[in-house]
Amino acid sequence: MDEPQQFHHNMFRHGGVRTHYVTAGTPPGEGGDGRTLVLVHGWPQTWREFRLIVGPLAADGWFVVAPDVRGAGGSSKPEGGYDKQTMARDLRALLDHLGVTTPVTLFGHDLGMLVTYAYATLYPDDVDRLIVAEAPIPGTKVYESVLATTAFSKDPLWHFHFHGAPDNAAEQLIAGNEFAYIRSFYVKLSANPDAIPISEAEHYVADYTAPGAMRAGIELFRAFEKDAQDNQRVLADKGKLTLPVLGIGGTASFFLPVAEQMLSEVAEDVTVQPIEESGHWLAEEQPDKVLERLREFTHVPRAAA
C-alpha cells in the first residue's frame, strides 16, 4: 500500500538510541491547535499498523505522532531498556524534541499499550486521555489470572511464556521460520485473516528479521517482571490514574471480557467499548470503527469530506 504524501518520516537520536517516527498533520509550533495524538504499536508490528487511520486523524485536526518503539522498525535495537518505563521515557524525549508542550492523547495497542500506560503513570499531568487496547497490564490481578489460565480463550497468550524462556531459546527456535511464525499471529488472532495481507506481513517480517530485531522484540516480554514491579510501585506511590481511560477490544479477541476489571485496578475513570467484527489487530481489521471510537472518546468530530 502506498503511503499518503502527508506522512513524514524522521529520525530522532537521544541517549544513544535512534527513534524512527512518522508524523502527519500540523505540529503545535507551526500553527496547529495543540492537539497531539500519539500512536504506539505492539508486537510483532511497527508504526505501519496505524497506516489506515493516521491520515483520517490528521484530517480531523490532530498532530499525529507514530514512532517505531525501541527495538522495532527503523529504530535502534539496543541490548537493554525494554522495560516499559524506559520506553515511556523514550517517548517523552521524542515529544520534547517535537516541541509538544500541551497534554497529549495516547493510544497504545498490544505491548504499545503497556508503554502508554507507563507514560501516563510517570507523567499524568501531561496526558489528556489514554486509549488502550488488547494487552494485559503486568502487575495487575487480571494479568496474573490470565497467565495462569491456559484454557483462557484457547490460551491466546501462550507466547508470553515462550518468549520469556531463558538463554535465548525463543530466538533460536524461531530462526529460519520467521515468516511462518510471525504471520501465524496475524491469522490466528484476527476475525478476518485477510485483514493483514501478505504484502503487509512481508513488511513486518522484513523489520523483525533485521539484525537484532527478533531479540529486541522478545526482550519486551522478558521485561514483564520488571514492568510488574514498576507498575505496582507507582500504583502504591501515586494511586490510580484519574484521567479518562478508554479500553477498546475486538469482539473476537480476549481483551474485552477482562478489560473493565483490569483497568479499574489502575484507573478511576474507565470506559470500555467493543470493536465489532474484529480480532486483535483492530486498526487493520476495522479502521473505521476504531476511528469512530477515538472520535467519540475525544469529542473530535470527523473531518468534512
Q: What is the pLDDT of residues 150-163, one digit of tens each?
A: 444 455 677 777 77
pTM greater than 0.95: no
Is residue 68 pLDDT above 50, yes or no? yes
- Examine residue 44 and say whether the peptide bond preceding it is cis (omega within 30 degrees of 0): yes
Number of other CB atoms surrounding residue 187 within 10 Å = 14
Grid cell for residue 216: 529486541
Give pLDDT tens digits for 167-213: 777 777 788 888 888 888 898 899 988 888 888 999 999 999 999 99
Q: Give the mean pLDDT of 44-63.
A: 96
What pLDDT shows up at residue 32?
64
User: Confidence band (pLDDT; 50, 70, 90) for 304?
Assistant: low
Amino acid at 66: A
What pLDDT shows up at residue 146?
74
Is residue 286 pLDDT above 70, yes or no? yes
What pLDDT shows up at residue 96?
96
In this prediction, what percent of the chain has a pLDDT beyond 70?
Answer: 92
Question: Three-class SS string for the chain?
Answer: CCCCCCCEEEEEEECCEEEEEEEECCCHHHCCCCCEEEEECCCCCCHHHHHHHHHHHHHCCCEEEEECCCCCCCCCCCCCCCCHHHHHHHHHHHHHHCCCCCCEEEEEECHHHHHHHHHHHHCHHHEEEEEEECCCCCCCHHHHHHHHCCCHHHCCCHHHHHHCCCCCHHHHHHCCCHHHHHHHHHHHCCCCCCCCCHHHHHHHHHHHCCCCHHHHHHHHHHCHHHHHHHHHHHHHHHCCECCCEEEEEECCCCCHHHHHHHHHHHECCEEEEEECCCCCCHHHHCHHHHHHHHHHHHCCCCCCC
Amino acid at 3: E
Question: Is the Cβ–Cβ distance between 5 and 83 less than 8 Å?
Answer: no
Grid cell for residue 208: 523483525
Is residue 223 pLDDT above 70, yes or no? yes
Is residue 100 pLDDT above 50, yes or no? yes
Is residue 269 pLDDT above 90, yes or no? yes
What pLDDT shows up at residue 28?
80
Between 158 and 60, name the one with better pLDDT. Answer: 60
Q: Give the mean pLDDT of 17-43.
A: 90
What pLDDT shows up at residue 152?
41
Half-sphere exposure of 196 (CA within 13 A, CB side): 29
Grid cell for residue 236: 502504591
Amino acid at 94: L
Half-sphere exposure of 5 (CA within 13 A, CB side): 0
Is residue 64 pLDDT above 50, yes or no? yes
Q: Cα separation of 138 and 247, whole Å? A: 16
Q: Cα separation of 33 and 49, whole Å? A: 26
Number of other CB atoms surrounding residue 93 within 10 Å = 16
Beta bridge partners of 109: 133
Pairing of strands 245-250, 127-133: parallel
Is residue 305 pLDDT above 60, yes or no? no
What pLDDT shows up at residue 233?
97
User: Confidence band (pLDDT; 50, 70, 90) for 149?
Assistant: low
Question: Is the Cβ–Cβ distance between 205 and 178 less than 8 Å?
Answer: yes
Is residue 300 pLDDT above 80, yes or no? no
What pLDDT shows up at residue 69?
98
What pLDDT shows up at residue 70?
97
